[in-house]
A and B are shown apart, each in its own frame.
Chain A
Amino acid sequence: MTEAARQLLEDCGVDQERLALEWASAAEAPRFVELITGYVSSIKEKGPLGAAAGEIPREEMKRRLSAAVKAAEARKPRTLLGNLAKKLAKSGDYSPEAISKGVSQKVLPAMRSERIAVEARMILEEGPVDIDSLCKGTGASAQELEKIMAPLEKKGIVSRKKNKFSLAGRK
């Protein structure tokens, strides 16, 4: 689950090291203090959210994260994640590599397209835009976006006129 969150964060332009998963048993107070102190100083070095290397500006990130929360709520990616967890539990292989590979292959693609679909609609709420702006806004490639927008067009949620997308029922 944390790995899914981590990869989704990365997808949203957040430095994934901002999310830590550590273990300290009830008896390991000194270890806990060490971990927390180390973690806080690493975040201090990174600076505020949006300021670390490779992070995107905060406003844009916020919209992307809003879309990501919705994506993490959606049934399809959640089912994929659940099934992956089931598979890992069965195999007993909880190595970081296996988890990371599983999530990036089985879960992230669905999460990402869901996130892009939600975000595209959020952008279109503001008014019609062309595909380049949508690509720029969501961080998706044109090809990817076409694939995501097609079903939305089909369902009549989004309409396309002269290369500009808009939400159906809006000027």
Chain B
Amino acid sequence: MCTMYCPRPVVDTYNERLEITRAPHIDYAQAIPSSYYIDAKACLRVNFETCNLCAQTCTAGAIDFSQKPKNLELEVGAVVLTPGFGRVDESVLEKFGYGRYPDVLTAFEFERLTCASGPTEGHIVRPSDNRPPKKIAFLQCIGSRDETCGNGYCSSVCCMYAIKEASVAKEHEPDLDVSIFFMDVRTMGKGFDDARKRAQEKYGINVIRARVPRVDQVDGRLALTWTTDDGEHHSGIFDMVVLSVGLESPEDAEVISKVADIGLNRYNFCKTRVDSPLSTTREGVYVAGAFQGPKDIPESVTQASGVAAIASELLADARSSQTVSITYPEENKALEEQEPRIGIFVCHCGVNIAGVVDVKAVRDYAASLPGVVLYEDPLYSCSQDALKSIAEKIKENNLNRVVIAACSPRTHEPLFQETLRSVGLNPALVEMANIRDQCAWVHAQEPEAATEKAKDLVRMAAAKARLLSPLEQPTVDVTPGALVLGGGAAGMSAALSIADQGYNVTLIEKSRQLGGNLRRLTWTLDGENAKEVLEDMISRVEEHPGIEVITNSSVESISGYVGNFTSTIATGKKTRLVNHGVTVIATGAREYKPKSYAYGESPRIITQLELEEKLSRGRGFLKNARNIVMIQCVGSRGDDMSHCSRLCCTQAVKNALKLKELKPDANIYILYRDMRTYGFYEDAYREARKKGIIFLRYSPDEKPQVIKQARGIKVRTRDRLLGDDLEIPASLVVLSAGIEPGENQELSKILKAPLTSEGFFLEAHAKLRPVEIAVDGVYLCGLAHGPKSLEESVAQAKAAAAKATIPLAKGKVAVAPIVSRVDQDACIGCGICESLCPFNAIRLSKVGKRKKAQTITASCKGCGICASHCPTIAISMGGFTDEAIMAQIHAFSGRECGEE
């Protein structure tokens, strides 16, 4: 109402000023808190004491103009800075026609155009004439890697977001011609290179390696000229140009710095150290997210968890001293026992579902199903206001069963279960139909078939919902200790953090000493002394009274579940048992052993780590070095392993600079595919070029050749500018060997923890749960998760420690109520279930005169093998009863197929 009646239009900044809203508004549908607020700068009442319309129309009486700004004083133990990133100044964008030509957009604006709830409802149109463009160009590195605007760093995220936006656009308009102009394609995140390759192949996105200097308008279209690295000049006309704008330091960085008394780096981001990436220069003040340096969502979320761990370490003594526990209304058993009254919510998920599935048709179809009393179609059912509205509707309509047709129950069921609990319904009374991950997303080209499938899935879910019954929520006590697997930088950091938070840690290392890969480094990527970092970490671990280190050891088995694990640790021939509540995987990875480029055939063909080891012993071996050639992507990016190893580019640059310092007259060549010196590492890359290190790009189908001759080694590669082969007699060839996963298969089997196709451990969700895995109570950090820098490993280890201490601090964990139950009357005590249970969770015991089976609730995983093998069908599974599954089968058939 207030928004409707307000006479004062203001630009909608969330929609990138592409739309108008009013002074009182909500920023966006998922905003938290999801309540309206008044833009005080625009409001007529605030500024001119006129109007007051909104206050008069608000039926809830929620607008109070007598409020004045107040200063609050809070007493806190730690301060965390998470202001995010700022905008690149418009003067930088003007160079590319932004502001002058309407069809030059920023990527942020383009993102809003592709959004279903955005100003154009997801239609991509040119602002100049509202017509769909046919040809779009994305220009990368706008406001990044550009010293002329003061931003010498790489913003790290733009390459991937441009590819994502281009893919979304192509999905929307398959005939669209999309070109992306890169300097280097920097998709070094976990799984990103694969995603990029797929997008290129599937959507035919043109990748052009060139920096476009300017944008001109010709006859209402946009003209670009560029030069490729073979020296050729090109030009082209586009209908729309998207500027992939980088991430700046926050606009008020200097104010924050002054207020919080912390240091900034040369780009006005927060100053941190490589071994303590989340600590500012002032004790007790911490930082996470883009303010620490440009980064993607997974790294930001990881840092956020990590910073929580640091605050918990500092405040360990005060834990639980000021907490308030949530109370839930008592369960309305009478309502639960009534005939099913089902509410069905068919989610649009913005354009994710509604872009393919006819959501309204599915909703209307749901109305026809037996027992359904309410059917709705929220835009985002998981948004805070939608959840609130679902809760209200449950109450208003006396619902006792709920069906959410949306995404996967694996990720979102707990959220909706919580909503039920909040209104006095048992959480087991909600059922989800997965019409996004397993329908809309995977049948994007067949909207009709997808809609039919969605209807079927909703019908099946409703059939099951009718038969759902309330389930008890058992809890078990937690053993207050952690097992950390791996004594490298990540494992040690995680162990220290958990121990500093007041819990015992057992740290297992397979080799004879702590340190892992850090032991082989001489300098960290930003030039700090790696040995000092290592020594400091080891001494802190060894001196900590809460950490027990067991070297020369490995895990033979881990049994149990979150809160109560028991592991067998083998040291030589001896084994011992350790009880622990949580497990942290920090088993690391190793340098890839090259299989090509004549590696192993000459002592002068070595890897980067071998070079560092040589360098740490002195410069003698460089005495006669004239030409040194480094080759990137050895083993990585489809060479032998499919992933990008993320670090090798920076490592090569770092070592090249070191060599140049020690031997200024040597020629150093780096043969690369894309230089991926992301973030502030870009500074080192620029320095290397300035110091005369020669960078030559090669394409994967024209790899360099290392030729061993009787006297010396020759490296042959293509000089793209000359268009001819170049032969370099090399005194030293350094192979940037990638990072190869360790032998994770065995541990993966022991823990039932899934691996990625490359062999790294798979996190539970790349963005939402980056340090957890699919198994409850097991956390992940360091190279075992994927290639990353020391700084990133340490932050991730802290994050894993933060997550791992949650069950430890709670002291109790809830067991999912999906466990088996034995009908004692029907059980004949045959013992088949006992012998088949993989978790020893069902046992025979004497009940009266006869033996009967009984479930050990805390151990039961709900697999149901007992139920499917019970001769008398005496065992039923919580949430997955025979009746419910049969009802789903009957609903699947669509016809009357009940018992005949």
Contacts and interface: CB of A to CB of B under 8 A. Distances in A.
A67 to B, nearest CB: 11
A92 B848 CA distance: 34
A91 B868 CA distance: 20
A88 to B, nearest CB: 9
A1 interface: yes
A123 interface: no
A25 B755 CA distance: 9
A26 interface: yes
Interface stretch (A8-16, A72-80, A97-105): A72-80
Given A27-B754, A89-B835, A82 B873 contact: no
Contact of B755 (A27, A73, A89): A27
A76 to B, nearest CB: 8
Interface residues of A, number: 18
B350 to A, nearest CB: 22
A1 B871 contact: no
Interface in A44-77: 66, 73, 75
Interface string A77-117: 01101110110011000000000000000000000000000
Interface in B258-279: none
Contacts of B832: 79, 82-83, 85-86
Contacts of A30: 757
B869 A27 contact: no
Contact of A75 (B835, B836, B872): B872
Contacts, number: 43
A81 B869 contact: yes
Given A27-B762, A86-B832, A78 B757 contact: no
A82 B830 contact: yes
A90 B870 CA distance: 17
A26 B871 contact: no
Nearest to A77: B871
A82 B869 contact: yes
Contacts of A89: 835-836
Interface string B814-837: 000000000000000010100110
Nearest to B761: A27
B869 A85 contact: yes
A126 interface: no
Interface in B853-889: 868-873
Contacts of B872: 75, 78
Interface in A13-27: 25-27
A34 interface: no
B900 interface: yes
Interface string A110-145: 000000000000000000000000000000000000
B871 A79 contact: yes
Contacts of B868: 1
A28 B830 CA distance: 38
A82 B868 CA distance: 9
B314 interface: no
A28 B757 contact: yes
A79 B762 CA distance: 40
Given A30-B757, A90-B835, A82 B871 contact: yes
B762 A26 contact: yes
A61 B754 CA distance: 41
A66 B898 CA distance: 11
B836 A78 contact: no
A66 B754 CA distance: 39
B885 to A, nearest CB: 13
Given A83-B832, A89-B835, A25 B754 contact: yes
Interface in B830-856: 830, 832, 835-836
Given A81-B869, A82-B830, A85-B869, A26 B774 contact: yes
Nearest to B759: A27
A27 B757 contact: yes
B30 to A, nearest CB: 27
Interface of A: 1, 25-28, 30, 66, 73, 75, 78-79, 81-83, 85-86, 89-90
- Which 7 residue pairs spanning A and B have beta carbons closest together? A82-B832, A78-B871, A26-B754, A79-B871, A27-B754, A82-B869, A86-B835
18 contacts: A1-B868, A26-B774, A27-B754, A27-B756, A28-B757, A73-B873, A75-B871, A75-B872, A78-B870, A79-B830, A82-B836, A82-B869, A82-B870, A82-B871, A85-B836, A86-B832, A89-B836, A90-B835
